[in-house]
Amino acid sequence: MKGLLLRVGIDSSCGKWNAPVDPETNDFTYIPIPEAIGRFQPGKEITYNAFEEALARFSSRHHASEKIELPHRLRESGCHVDPNFETLTYGDQDSGRGIAIKSLQKGDFIAFFSSMKPIKPCEHKLIYALIGLYVVDNTRQVKEISQELRDLNVHGIRRTGNENDWIVFADPHRSGRFTHCLPIGERRNGAYRVTEDLLHVWGGLSVKDGYIQRSVKPPFFNYPERFLLWLEAKNIELIRMNNWK
């Protein structure tokens, strides 16, 4: 078995904004990274407007003193909904991070995490936390699949240059977005890293000292079975949607 720890979602390095998280309840909102509207096939573009209602509900739930909303520069912009927790797909190119993706086989998994901004004072400026899990059913290149399957992921609805991209299709019985996130990171030795306690429990990662800031080469779990046992003990509910409805 292989297990991949993959960073996703908008943040200061990709989109220059962080999605909100409540550090007391671990309630969060999943917001994807940007993508130019012109890259999508006509009529299949996705914009950040789709996520404004989710942010409004988040603000209401937590009685935020200031409304939590997207910056004006993003409102009408395109976004890259990947992973897509409604279709249970994740895509990547045939290079960089995609090299790890295309190596995944049935039964392997991806643990997704994001860098989010706490809405209340806490010990961390940013909270790095797990937001979802995919157990792989199959992984295929765009050029190998039907248009119906292509439409399930942003890598399948681009105008050009996507034929060699890879799409992971997750097992619907064991995959989804978390109802609340699981914090895993801390600022240590000049960077955000998986906490030392978790590194010990999980058996380590394939990167030095648990480094989890954005990287072209995402880490694998050294002992993926140990991570899954840890996650199972958390009793996290998996839901098939990109945000609360």
Query: What is the tens place of the pLDDT at every residue in 66-113?
Result: 788 899 999 889 999 999 999 999 999 998 888 999 999 999 999 999
pLDDT mean across residues, the chain:
94
pLDDT at position 63 is 81
**Does residue 179 surpass a pLDDT of 70?**
yes
Domain total of the chain? 1
Taking the CA atoms of 34, 35, 41 and 42 in sequence, report the sign of the dihedral they define: positive
Q: What is the mean pLDDT of residues 50-76?
A: 87
Q: Is 116 a member of any domain? A: yes
244 part of a folded domain:
no
pLDDT digits (tens, 9 = 90+) for 182-226: 999 999 999 999 999 999 999 999 999 999 987 778 999 999 999
**Residue 173 structural domain:** 3-239
- In a domain? residue 245: no
Task: Quote the tokens at residue 227.
Answer: 């991570």
Is residue 213 in some structural domain? yes
Instruction: Tell me the three-class secondary structure of the chain, residue by residue.
Output: CCEEEEECCCECCEECCCCEECCCCCCECCCCEECCHHHECCCCCCECHHHHHHHHHHHHHCCCCCCCCCCHHHCCCEEECCCECCCCEEEECCCCCHHHHCCCCCCCEEEEEEEEEECCCCCCCCEEEEEEEEEEEEEEEHHHCCHHHHCCCHHHCECCCCCCCEEEEECCCCCEEEEEEEECEEEECCEEEECHHHHHHHCCECCHHHECCCCCCCCEECCHHHHHHHHHHCCCCEECCCCCC
**Residue 185 included in any domain:** yes
> Is residue 235, in this structure, part of any structural domain at all?
yes
- 206, part of any domain: yes
Is residue 30 assigned to a domain?
Answer: yes
Contact 206, 220 (CB under 8 A): yes
Please give the model's pTM, rounded to 2 decimal places: 0.95
